[in-house]
Amino acid sequence: MKKTIFSVATLTALTGVSAVTANAEEVTVKSGDSLWSIAQAAGTTVADLKAENNLKSDLIHPGDVLSFNQTVEVSKDTYTVKAGDTLWAIGNEVGLSYQEIMTINNLNSDMIYPGQTLSLVASVEENTQTSETATVQEVEVAEEVQAEEVTQVEETQVEVVEEVEATETVEVQETGAYIVQKGDTLASISRATGVDVDTLKALNSLKSDMIFPDDVLVLTGEVPTTPAVEEVSEVEKIEVAVETVDQAAEKAEADRVAAEQAAVEKAEADRVAAEQAVAEKAEADRVAAEQAAARQAEADRQAAIKAEEERVAAQRAEEARIQAQKEQQRIAAQKAAEKREREAAAQKAAQQASQPVSQGNGNAYTIALNLSKGKSYVYGANSAYAVDCSSFAQQFMAQYKGKNIPRTTWAQRDAGTRVSNPQPGDLVFFNNYSHVGVYVGNGMMVDALNPSEGVGLRAVSYVHGYVDGYYRY
């Protein structure tokens, strides 16, 4: 049995298109961008971007401003594919459908690659009878198969088929055409029109299930029940392989650049974080140092204040010691002078002892001096062994004049008569009448002064304070 391979010629008459050039553009680099992603979005190449912006490497940084020229280089008859192009986008650019571009360039799929040159003009003979059977070339085959058998073609490979069985044609009812809407798929169109997906693809020479809004799909005509598998040349295989390799290489380059970009951004973020950490630590150290210096300064100030207070206290203590020493020296000198005065008075009194100086029972000096012998000073006492100043004056006056005068100094003052010319035997009062002594003449007296000084002869001037007056009884 013989098999046949057939092809159907379609009328296409295309004319050339004019070149279009866009103005220069700028783009600001954002985090995550790379030269490859920017080139894809801008419709240019990484090499052009680098040349346009004088870049020595693929490294860019967020905030960089890159300029590029969006120029569509289309001659009258051809178009050179750029990175990011698709057949659909090129068709929109030049005013053709992507199916027409595929037909003109004998493309088996919609896969293209940068640098590929596509023809935009073709002229083929129009078939006047759409219902005619295509020219059939008969080929002898080694083995006969039944007409019902269908050659299976795997999706992942392209087989070179030398011959296929001439197949029956299936008539599709004439329903017109369908304009693809946004969101349509071949399956949804098949359900809406009743034309199965394979028939739709065969009628419209679709090599894949990809369709685009505003595409016009033919719904009527004769189609083979088994699609013909086109013969693919070794050159086309190589071109597809090269295209695949180029795309893989381009993706690898994009991944590399993206990785480098991510590494740069991470390094930059790490650097900024490190600088921030260093700055924060430096600021913390500065504040801590200032606080430590302030605390030390305050401690030094307090220490200085304390030292000054101690110095002043020591100075005052020294001054007080010197003053006390001077006072002691003054008192000692005064006491020495008083002692000398007493000794001189005692000598003078001894010289006058033989002279009578008073009326009454004996010499006042002798009586007072004898009366003081063997007695000690005890406050409030009045005995032969212990007396105070007023009891001694009371005992003296009893022996000297035989008079009993009051016991206290104030009462004794009131009992006597104040005189301005004191004589031996008169009483002399001191310091608001708080002390009394027996005047024995020549500025001397005998009194009971205090526990330390005792009872005896001393100068009137020896008593500290002042003299209230002399009284006679």
Q: Are 420 and 384 in contact (CB under 8 A)?
A: no
Q: What six digits make up the tokens of 334?
A: 């005064």
What is the secondary structure of 118-180 as a DSSP string?
Answer: EE---B-PPPS-TTSPPPEEEE--SS---TT------TT-----S------EEEE----EEE-
Taking the CA of residue 214 as centre, how many other CA atoms within 13 Å lie in the half-sphere pointing to its CB? 7
191-195, 239-243, 272-276: least confidently modelled range: 239-243
Percent pLDDT > 90 in the chain is 44
Q: What six digits make up the tokens of 101?
A: 């571009």
* Per-residue model confidence (pLDDT) at position 42: 82
* Per-residue model confidence (pLDDT) at position 452: 94
Burial 109-125 (b: 16+ CB within 10 A, else e): ebbbbbebebebeeeee
- Give residue-wise pLDDT tens across range 423-456: 999 999 999 999 999 999 999 999 999 999 999 9
Quote the CA–CA distance of 218 and 174 in Å, as a whole number.
Answer: 10
Q: Are 349 and 457 in contact (CB under 8 A)?
A: yes
- Give residue-wise pLDDT tens across range 272-328: 999 999 999 999 999 999 999 999 999 999 999 999 999 999 999 999 999 999 999
Taking the CA of residue 227 as centre, how many other CA atoms within 13 Å lie in the half-sphere pointing to its CB? 17
141, burial (CB in 10 Å: exposed 0-12, middle 13-18, buried 19+): middle
Quote the CA–CA distance of 227 and 212 in Å, as a whole number.
Answer: 23
- Give residue-wise pLDDT tens across range 142-176: 333 333 333 332 333 333 333 333 333 333 444 47
Question: How confident is the model over 16-39, as a mean pLDDT?
Answer: 74
Give the number of other Cβ atoms within 10 Å of residue 442's Cβ: 18
Q: Are 232 and 247 in contact (CB under 8 A)?
A: no
Quote the CA–CA distance of 473 and 119 in Å, as a whole number.
Answer: 166
* Per-residue model confidence (pLDDT) at position 228: 46
